[in-house]
Structure 1
Amino acid sequence: MSAPEVAIIGAGYAGLACAVELARAGVHVTVFERSHTMGGRARVVHKDHHWRVDNGQHILIGAYTELTRLLRLTGVSPKQLAHLPLTLHVPGRLHLKAAALPAPFHLAVGLLRAKGLGWGDRLAMLHMMRWLKKRNFRLDDPGMHVDALLSETRQTPALRTLIWEPLCVAALNTPVAESSAQIFANVLRDSLAAGAAASELLLPRTDLSELFPVPAARYIGVRRGKLRTGHAIESISPVAGGLALGGDSQGKAWRHVVVATAPYHASALLASTGACDRLAAQIDALEHEPIVSVYLALGKGERLPEPMIGLAGGDPADPAQWVFDRGQLGGAEGLMSCVISARGPHEALARDELILAVHAQLERQLGRRLPAPEWSQVIVERRATFACRPGILRPGLRTPLPGLWLAGDYLDSEYPATLESAVRSGVACATAILAELGSKG
């Protein structure tokens, strides 16, 4: 008997995670990808035929257990990730590094050693973590915003500005006054509150397409799977024996099809079936937030005090929130990746103005003059993630149409839109498909 076959639309982290799990179980998968570059919203971008940069800087943490498991499974070398203790460094204002100890001592000792925080700040931070732990990180009010959580736990202005607000915007990509306090509590539960290993920063030393998508494609290919890049699927139609894909030159009926695209592409594919209108409308109702990445190639000899530093931002003069020294992470020396999460006043700036503003901000907050960039690049993902607000309706992996599935970082989960939530959705989808294949023979 021939092995079952599954079609997956989208070669991002969710689709490839699903494909790897299915291939591991002996299922023959075909992955269709519109672009010629794998990774979806976490992919490499080529600059002037000489440089490779990511379309956005993604931070992995030790709590990302499914992604790190799949990296090991597909043969990714541990050296492709820089393992760093959780370090929050804002030049001239804050330096907090978690200790290599079990929870809660890793955070307590880190706070004792922290520079830039007073005793009131330290006690307030510990109070909030104890307050959350006492409630098992489950909030009584599911509609609470992060801003209200910080007020409820009496967080100081310094903690808000230097720690909680930057962490929230980085994790949820949504302004603090609108972000879901419950989702933020889930992130804290599995990172800061879970020990030094879980809160450890895992920063990619390679581009995001090479980190997982390329090894995943090799893994799938060895197991008789197929990857068809540059191949757009425009529609899905129920037919006798399964589902037909508009744009699939094989013209076959697939028993199982996984839609693993960005949500705004998934809704159009669902609507094309004629059987998923309500689900398509639910996905269309999700609002999105942007992420802007500003790359500054400052040249040899330029180095940040840490591989990742925080910046005080929030207005057009200081738009960036985090800066990554790619030279310390295996990239070109002096290449800085400056990140602006969520919407804000920076969106009114032209690209040249934004580059100048970020360069000036970096100079001010480092306290020294910087050379003019040898080259620069602004990458705008206008719909990088869904807006992670309380009470939003996130769909599950099943659809009303038998054999049609969803995978993606926007699906219902305890996490915001991260690489881990994308991978977990793909694994969960593969598990459900394997259960159906097993039950029906």
Structure 2
Amino acid sequence: MKVAIVGGGWAGMAAAVAASDAGHSVSVFEASRTLGGRARALQGTLPNGEPVTLDNGQHILIGAYTETLRLMRQVGVDPEANLLRLPLALPFVDGTGLQTPAYATHWPAPLDAIAAIATARGWSWGERFSLIRASLGWQWNGFRCEASLSVAQLCHALAPKVFHELIEPLCVSALNTPATHASATVFLRMLKDALFGIRGGSHLLLPTSDLTAIFPQAAAQRVTQMGGALHLGQRISQLRYEAPHWLLDGHAYDRIIWATSSSNSALALVECAQSAPEPIATSLRSWSATAAALRFEAIATVYAWSPTARLPHPMLALRPNAVEPAQFVFDRGQLDGTSGLLAFVVSASDGTADALEAAVLAQARSQLSALNLGALQVVQTVVEKRATFACTPALHRPPQQIAPGLLAAGDYVDGPYPATLEGAVRSGWAAGIDLGQAMDMPR
């Protein structure tokens, strides 16, 4: 079939690879000049004048992202060469926090995670046991709970220190939603796959190459090698239904996968519905209403540099509070070799970029003073205001099928995962392989 994919993010490129490998004729349309969507490379300059490749947000992958890792290998990217694999560890600068012992690094799940919990520094035995007891209870219940529960409600019996130093940062990093408002159902699914799934599922995978290079760029090369076409800097201005085809700016396709943001998708489909026949128009309006109802959370990454800045680990956990917002800091020198560059991540962020920069620099001086980082200077602050949907309890997400012959792909599409790279890749792959089973268009 002749297939168009609108959007060159991780979901769109996963769909493009799946469709190309299935033998379809694929055309990808991406409005920007860089592939990757909300996980892409961008260019910056250090205070010393040195050019540097950044990302539009510091990302963490985990070993449980099986589809992402599989697809990276399928397009010729070696995960071990492009991702720094670390055992589960959320250390603070003072040496406390969760850290998997060296002897347990290769233990099968969940023994490695249990070892990390049992040896967590700074926790009493009672605090450790509260987490082990809760984890075994979650496993006993099949990692299922009432859909209406929040993460905070799910974890109400945990010791406060464990909740604040482990559950809250895990929740906000995975779901980008505060624990008081985040879906316990989705959180449990993440815990099941990460801590109780495959061997190494809890490992942290930190990108050592830019986010465009570790998948979207390689995916594009594979698609073009398979005879597909890639159109960068080309924004689609009109989607129209003309039986038995969908038309993009007047060009007909047998199937279309719409892989842009939920808000962009909803706007385009509402406009298309104005001229579409029934029941196509009804399907478009129904899907758009569900997508438009999603709420969003922001993520900010503050890149700061000093010639002497270096962390004791590639990644440190921070203790956020009302005036110090960052949850994690990454040493890019230990990842991509950019010496002195730190990336502070503020999930579920609010406020202006200037305010975040000032707060993060103050937090670094306060919480990282023992490291003698030097005078940090802001390189660039990236604020993705609509980075992820708010992953709240009993959330209704739009389905993959929009209308006959028209599919959606994206981390917000109905599925078991929150707005993560794994969620995006799984959605895109599913859309790409389901093209043949998608409902035929009425004539």
Normalising to structure 2: TM-score of the pair?
Answer: 0.92
Structure 2 partner of 1:111: 117
Corresponding residue number in structure 1 for 2:390: 387
Any conservation in 1 of the 2:109–2:201 contact (CA below 8 Å)?
A: no
Q: Does 1:146 align with 2:151?
A: yes
Given that 2:329 and 2:345 are in contact with CA atoms closer than 8 Å, whether structure 1 keeps it comes out as yes
Q: Is the 8 A contact 1:174 1:389 kept in 2?
A: yes
Correspondent of 1:125 among 112, 124, 131:
131
Aligned residue for 1:190, secondary structure, equals helix
Check whether the contact 1:85–1:196 (CA below 8 A) recurs between aligned residues: no
Tell which deviates more after alignment, 92-101 or 422-431.
92-101
Equivalence for 2:411: 409
Structure 1 position 225 matched with structure 2 position 228: yes
Q: Look up the match of 1:314.
A: 321
- Three-state SS of the structure 2 residue aligned to 1:210 is coil
| Runs (5+) with no aligned partner, structure 1 | none
Q: Which residue of 2 aligns with 1:96?
A: 98
Which segment drifts farther, 367-376 or 235-244?
A: 367-376
Letter of the 1:305 partner, please give it.
Answer: P
Match in the other structure for 2:170: 167
Q: How does 1:310-389 map to 2 (within 5 A)?
A: 310-316=317-323, 318-344=324-350, 347=351, 351=354, 353-368=355-370, 369-389=372-392
Cα distance in 2, alignment partners of residues 93 and 155 from structure 1: 22
Q: Which residue of 1 aligns with 2:255?
A: 256
1:150 Cα shift? 1.1
Q: Calculate the aligned-residue CA RMSD, in Å.
A: 1.9
State percent identity of aligned pairs: 41
Structure 1 Cα separation of the partners of residues 390 and 439 of structure 2? 35
Cα separation, 2, equivalents of 1:220 and 1:203: 26
Q: Tell me the distance in 2 between the aligned counterparts of 1:18 and 1:64.
A: 17
Alpha-carbon shift at residue 114 of structure 1 (Å):
2.1
Report the residue type matching 2:111 in the other structure: F
Give the drift of 1:241.
Answer: 3.4
423, 431, 437: which one aligns with 2:433 = 431
Residue by residue over 1:383-431, the C-alpha shift from the partner in whole angstroms, topping out at 9 and shown as x without a partner, is: 00000001111011101x3111100000111110000010000111112
Does the CA-based 8 Å contact 1:172-1:417 persist in structure 2?
yes
Q: Tell me the equivalent position of 2:64.
A: 63
**In structure 1, what residue type is equivalent to 2:407?**
W
> 1:159 and 1:125 mapped to 2: Cα distance?
7
- Cα distance in 2 between the residues matched to 1:149 and 1:415: 18
Corresponding residue for residue 276 of structure 2: none
Residue 6 (str. 1) matches residue 7 (str. 2)? no
Q: CA deviation at 1:193?
A: 2.1
Offset at residue 224 of structure 1 (A): 0.6
How far 1:105 moved relative to its partner? 1.8
Q: Which amino acid aligns with 1:133?
A: Q
Give CA deviations for 1:25-61 in whole Å, capped at 9, x if unaligned.
Answer: 2211000001111101111121248221111111111
Residue in structure 2 matched with residue 236 of structure 1 by the alignment? 239
Q: CA shift at 1:367, angstroms?
A: 3.1
Count of paired positions: 423
Which of the numbers 20, 26, 47 marks the counterpart of 1:29? 26
2:160 counterpart residue number: 157
Cα distance between partner residues in 2 of 1:420 and 1:213: 13
Judge conservation of contact 2:410–2:423 (CA < 8 Å) in 1. Answer: yes
Residue 47 (str. 1) matches residue 44 (str. 2)? yes
Aligned residue for 1:127, secondary structure, equals: helix
DSSP-derived class of the 2:299 partner:
strand
Distance 1:375 1:175, change over 3 A: closer
The match for 2:421 among 396, 412, 419 is 419
**d(CA) in 2 for partners of 1:108, 1:32:** 46
Judging changes above 3 Å, is the alpha-carbon distance between structure 1 residues 137 and 177 closer, same or farther for their aligned structure 2 residues?
same
Normalised TM-score (structure 1): 0.92
Identify if the C-alpha distance between structure 1 residues 241 and 324 changes in structure 2 by more than 3 Å, giving closer, same or farther. Answer: same
In the alignment, the residues of structure 1 paired with residue 70 and residue 287 of structure 2 have an alpha-carbon distance, to the nearest angstrom, of 31
| Whole-angstrom CA distance in 1 between matches of 2:174 and 2:36 | 19
- Give deviations 1:95-147, integer Å, cap 9, x for gaps: 322322112321222223321111011101101111100100011x2100011
Cα distance in structure 2, aligned partners of 1:54 and 1:142: 35
